[in-house]
Amino acid sequence: MDVKSVGVIGAGQMGNGIAHVLALAEYDVLLNDVSQDALDSAVATIEGNLARQASKGKISDEMMQATLSRINTTLELPQLGQTDLVIEAATEREAIKQAIFEDLQPHLLPHTILTSNTSSISITRLASRTDRPERFMGFHFMNPVPVMQLVELIRGIATDEETFKSCKAVVDRLGKTAASAEDFPAFIVNRILMPMINEAVYTLYEGVGSVQSIDQSMRLGANHPMGPLELADFIGLDTCLAIMNVLHDGLADTKYRPCPLLTKYVEAGWLGRKTERGFYDYRGETPVPTR
């Protein structure tokens, strides 16, 4: 199927990035959220990011204006049922995602493909709650979406080949690279990345190193562009904990047990950059380690 219009559910960091790259690739985008403030903030963020791209000569001013004109917003979820492809990018909680798909289902066109940007939740299980498991798959963008080149495409057990090809064509048109992943907990990237971050937290928890020494060691000793604790703050410690819990529950292996210190930070509401405190305190001019 030739996808022409895309509905994006959720106007947060991931949702606005997805809307940005889709509109830039000349798709008509309908962005949905339960909050008008979130929608307004998303459009402002997209405009700012496009302006930055234009200032660097990556796109023209005409392309920027054309891209913005392709993005419409709505508080009404049923309106997204008229699009060819829906990408759900809501909170990483399965009950919320299931409720969204159940509410949207009566309004879908027969050919509409449903996808989720989930970073870890079972695609097969999400698909089974809809009327079109064969036209449902995982469409996992990396953060920040306009910058990162990879998209994980995850087939559920019922996903058909036509759906995969249609989604792969969208990724190709975005100028990104698709990695085909099987539907196992956390897929490829987070299956490898999150245990590394969790081990870094254990290294801090056990006093092997400080926040600064752990991040410095991985930047300079392993040539990582960002230390694992700094990266955890960027991703969001609540998201890291949620993915570790999915891995631990889904694979029943103690090596995926979330570090108690990670749980403590989340319980304190220190979730990283978005709350201005995590493994670093971001309230001053420069980030300061909190341990």
Annotated binding-site positions for NAD(+) = 10-15, 33, 92, 97, 119, 143, 274
List 152, 166, 198, 230, catalytic entry: 152
175 three-state secondary structure: coil
Residue 86's φ and ψ, nearest 5 degrees, are -115, 130
Annotated catalytic residue, options 140, 166, 198, 230? 140
- The residues pairing with 28 across neighbouring beta strands, listed in sequence order, are 5
Angle at 95 between CA 92 and CA 100, to 5 degrees: 85
Residue whose tokens read 């949207």: 104
Q: Is 180 known to be catalytic?
A: no
248 catalytic per annotation: no
Concerning whether 107 is annotated as a catalytic residue, the answer is no
- The annotated binding site is made up of 10-15, 33, 92, 97, 119, 143, 274
Q: Which of the 8 DSSP states describes residue 258?
A: P
- 5, 49, 117, 190: which one is catalytic? 190
Active site residue 119: yes
Residue 126: strand, helix, or coil = helix
Residue from 119, 120, 122, 198 carrying the catalytic annotation: 119
Q: Are 251 and 185 in contact (CB under 8 A)?
A: yes
Q: Which residues lie below 8 Å from residue 209, measured CB to CB, with a gap of 6+?
A: 203, 217
Q: Which residues are catalytic?
A: 119, 140, 152, 190
